[in-house]
Structure 1
Amino acid sequence: MDVRTETRLTTTSRDGTRIAYWRSGEGPALILVHGATADHSRWETVLPLLEPHVAVYAMDRRGRGHSGDAADYRIEEEGADVAAVVEAVADATGGPVDVLGHSYGGLCLLEAMALTARIRRAVLYEAGAGVPTEPGLADELTALLADGRREEVVSELLTVAAGVTPDQLASMRTLPSWPNRVAAAHTVVREVRAHDGYRLRPERFGSLAVPTLLLLGADSPPSEAESTAAVAAALPGARVVTLAGQGHVAMLTAPDLFTAEILTFLRRST
């Protein structure tokens, strides 16, 4: 039986924060940028499907896992973190690289696309750009965190903001990555507030020629469709693929479909 191996690497972002990322698999480079409450381990359900085809570089975003953090938080620095990993991997592999960002990680990837020319192709899965969360959610999460109810912070974000169903949430709780989500609960409030304050400025991206796949769950909240349409209008090289019967976490609910769409896009865009 094959045993997975992964290697931890690090790079330094522009503000001096150390960012860790994990390499596994063989083939062209694909950087994975996770969303809120997670770390690089959230990709556990799809790594076995990706690794035979691509060399995966899965980030720990700042404030969790083996990555560092900074006293002040700005989403622009998260974009710089992604760009720093892109530059490091491109240097190591000798060419531009592909990047996949999910949810808030997709928003970080969008920011990175304006910072580096070494992204060859991009996949954004429901980045949520320009569409705020439910009114009062950030304050509710702040109160839960202050009370030490970290697991409720994670559950509330997933169900209210991401539309995760009770069955999907129960499944997520059984995964080895769940304790890492709870450990990252302190990052949730700052990301929700940054997300709610984010303004998509199409003029920043109009000159980009990066082929981009925008994944959208057919069963996701309407806000995700609204956001995806706005991002599609801002990125000249973007096309939207809707995942039938899926919501915000298709890597969990339909890993074969999820990876097939990504690999098909990467092959057709070569």
Structure 2
Amino acid sequence: MTSTASSTVTGTVTSADGTSIAYTATGDGPAVIIVDGALCHRAFGPSAGIAEQLAPEFTVYTYDRRGRGESGDAEAYSPEREVEDIAALIRAAGGQAVLAGFSSGGALTLRAAAAGIGVTKAACYEAPYVTQDWHREAALAYTADLHRALDEGRVDDMPALFMTLVGMPADQVAGMRQSPVWPAFTAVAKTLTYDNAVLGYPSGGTVPTDLLATITAPVLAMDGGASPDILRDPAGIIAGACPNAERLTLEGQTHEVSPAAVGPVLAKFFA
């Protein structure tokens, strides 16, 4: 572990399969672990801004999910390996932590909360499970295309497939391919298949209500009031499936939630 400031440290933990997971811990207080969504990691995504909001009251752990940023990876993948990554972080944090997961990171957060690894509270924002038939068909087709691109070595196409799935127009996707930020997407493109697996594809994609029913920790299921129904509806199902849960809509927010909007909500829930 290397100290970078009086209240900030960076380091690594070793997961159960030997994979090194890189993290930054900021602030002082009870441990909060932020779980990023697709294509994001500590240096590329919202987690640093959310950590800044929470650091006055908590020790906030941001980390690079396996295959991203400075973390390692393994040849074989399953969502259970990512739960083990979180378990290693919780051990480093003292044996207990609260989790805040965003998008597919919300689905991973719920898996971790059900795993009995020391999660005392769990918040998730717009975990993108499917609730409508047309969305399920589109997601299954995307899953097949994504794995085909990976198998054929077309890693550059994988972020484009994801952006198309989430509704970005073709001309904007083409423009993104030419932008300086594109290499940051392709560097973690393989992990898009990990996000899909966390959500239950290729066999599922729906809210895993049986799993959620086993979560004993308090759960906060959030959505944005300005998001489309396909992103908002899962929050209600999650809240209904967990034994001790509440749903909260952040008015005016979209899937790209503002740290300033979600930070105070998380601080209140985790207090």
TM range (shorter): 0.7 to 0.9
1:182 and 2:189 matched: no
Q: Which residue of 2 aligns with 1:118?
A: 118
> Matched residues in 1 for 2:111 and 2:27: separation?
27
- Higher mean alpha-carbon deviation, 62-71 vs 3-12, is at 3-12
The correspondence of residues 59-208 of structure 1 with structure 2, limited to 5 A, is 59-91=63-95, 96-129=96-129, 131=131, 132=136, 134-142=139-147, 146=152, 148=154, 150=156, 153-158=158-163, 160-161=165-166, 180-192=184-196, 195=199, 196=201, 197-198=203-204, 200-208=207-215
Partner AA of 2:25 in structure 1: R
Scaled by the length of structure 1, what TM-score is found? 0.79
SS at match of 1:204: helix
CA distance in 2: counterparts of 1:5 and 1:159, whole angstroms: 40
1:194, distance to aligned residue in structure 2 (A): 5.1
Structure 2 distance, partners of 1:244, 1:101, is: 19
Distance 2:124 2:231 in 1: 12
Asked if the contact 1:164–1:248 (Cα under 8 Å) also holds between the matched residues in 2, the reply is no
Q: Is the Cα–Cα contact under 8 Å of residues 107 and 198 in structure 2 kept in the other structure?
A: no
| AA matched with 1:217 | G
> How far apart, in 1, do the equivalents of 2:99 and 2:72 lie?
21
Q: 1:79 to 1:158 in 2, by over 3 A?
A: farther
Match of residue 224, structure 1, among 227, 231, 235 = 231
Q: Is the 8 A contact 2:103 2:125 kept in 1?
A: yes
Q: Match for 2:105: what amino acid? A: G
1:261 corresponds, among 242, 249, 265, to 265
> Aligned partners of 1:36, 1:185: CA distance in 2, in Å?
9
Contact 1:83-1:116 at 8 Å conserved across structures: no
Assess if the C-alpha contact under 8 Å between 2:26 and 2:59 holds in 1: yes
- Encode CA deviations 1:142-201: one digit per residue, 9 max, x unaligned: 566657563x6335424533x5799x99xx99xx98754431112213433553334644
Q: State the partner residue of 2:252.
A: 245
SS class of match (1:49): helix
Change (3 A) 1:218 1:16: same
CA contact (8 A) 1:90 1:118 kept: no
User: Partner residue of 2:39?
Assistant: 37
SS in 1 for 2:243: coil
- Check 1:147–1:63 CA distance in 2 against 1; reply closer, same or farther (3 A cut): closer
**Where does residue 234 of structure 1 map in the other structure?**
241
Residue 126 and residue 40 in structure 1: after superposition, are their counterparts in 2 closer, same or farther (change >3 A)?
same
Q: Counterparts of 1:9 and 1:243 in 2: how far apart (Å)?
A: 33
Coordinate RMSD, CA, aligned: 3.3
Instruction: Indicate yes or no: 2:29 matched with 1:27.
Output: yes
For 1:135 and 1:116, the matched residues in 2 are separated by: 30
Letter in 1 for 2:26: S
SS at the partner of 2:49? Answer: coil
Q: CA deviation at 1:21?
A: 1.5
Q: Percent identity?
A: 31
Whether the 8 Å CA contact 2:220–2:246 is kept in 1: the answer is yes
How much has 1:5 moved relative to structure 2? 6.8
Q: Secondary structure of 2:236's match?
A: helix
